[in-house]
Amino acid sequence: MIMLSISPISAFSDNYIWCVAHNGEAVIVDPGDAAPVLKYLDQHQLKLSAILITHHHYDHVNGIELLCEQYPQIPVYGPQNQCPVINQRLNHGESIRLLGHDIDVIAVPGHTLDHIAYYIADTQPNPLLFCGDTLFAGGCGRLFEGTAEQMLDSLGLICALPANTAVYCAHEYTLSNLRFAQEVEPANQNLQDRIADASSRRAEGLPTVPSELALELLTNPFLRAGNSAVQASVNAHTGTKCWEKKDIFANLRKWKDNF
Ligand SMILES: [Zn+2]
């Protein structure tokens, strides 16, 4: 079993660019900015061997060109989109092999239509998911291109992964997501505990990412549209009486957009 070491590289105000490394080789996920990545690779004596892209937004792709100037031969994997610097296009259900591991591609449209996630099943102690701006710690991405129903289906695919999957999202939005979650589910004790834990991590300047999928299922309202407390809260907020998961989810997303 090849052990991977995974580290966040901070970029912009709240982005995490993920560096997955083994034996001096690094795979970078969503390099929105090249400078911090080059600095990190240099500091840790790593050689870039591939780039993985989850979707086309600038804060996930803008560093590719400069990285490829330094590493002209590397594959840049990404979804089917208009981004010209991606040279290996991936579809849902495909797998690629990097750093001794199979990486599965899951299409997760919603935040954008091209959005994909990368899942590595055979890592210890947990499987890994790099999900860009789809599932956040305590929240989910805004719907810029897709529908609420598409996002709900995409999150459903993620929820079907093993509960101990480590979820690596691309932003440090956790505390503000959890503030919203608390508004939705004030009586959720798991959520209270998570807020305390995330607050102390942030106070120490530590990332709250990755999180475990099991914790998301207990505390992330966007994965809990089937929960009666979440449904009651959404209905009370919007003045509706709908019980279908897709309607609850759509109203929850609108609520968060204006929170
Ligand atoms: Zn995005």
In terms of residues, how long is the chain? Answer: 259
Rounded Cα–Cα distance for residues 99 and 76 (Å): 15
CA 142 – ligand 1 centroid, Å: 8
Rounded Cα–Cα distance for residues 74 and 132 (Å): 21
Q: Which of 30, 33, 133, 247 is catalytic?
A: 133
Domains defined along the chain, listed by start:
5-257 (3.60.15.10)
Q: By CB neighbour count within 10 A (0-12 exposed, 13-18 middle, 19+ buried), where does 238 fall? A: middle
CA 240 – ligand 1 centroid, Å: 30
Q: Is 22 assigned a catalytic role?
A: no
What pLDDT, on a 0 to 100 scale, did the predictor assign at position 136? 98
What pLDDT, on a 0 to 100 scale, did the predictor assign at position 2? 76
Q: Report helix, strand and coil shares of the chain as percent, to nearest 5.
A: 35, 25, 40
CA 7 – ligand 1 centroid, Å: 20
Cβ distance 20 to 34 under 8 Å? Answer: no
Rounded Cα–Cα distance for residues 8 and 18 (Å): 5
Q: In terms of DSSP H, where are the helices of 25-147?
A: 34-43, 58-61, 64-70
CA 254 – ligand 1 centroid, Å: 17
CA 23 – ligand 1 centroid, Å: 31
Q: Is 111 assigned a catalytic role?
A: yes
Q: Is 55 assigned a catalytic role?
A: yes
pLDDT in 10s for each residue of the chain, 259 residues: 678 999 999 999 999 999 999 999 999 999 999 999 999 999 999 999 999 999 999 999 999 999 999 999 999 999 999 999 999 999 999 999 999 999 999 999 999 999 999 999 999 899 999 999 999 999 999 999 999 999 999 999 999 999 999 999 999 999 999 999 999 999 999 999 999 999 999 999 999 999 999 999 999 999 999 999 999 999 999 999 999 999 999 999 999 999 9
What pLDDT, on a 0 to 100 scale, did the predictor assign at position 68? 98
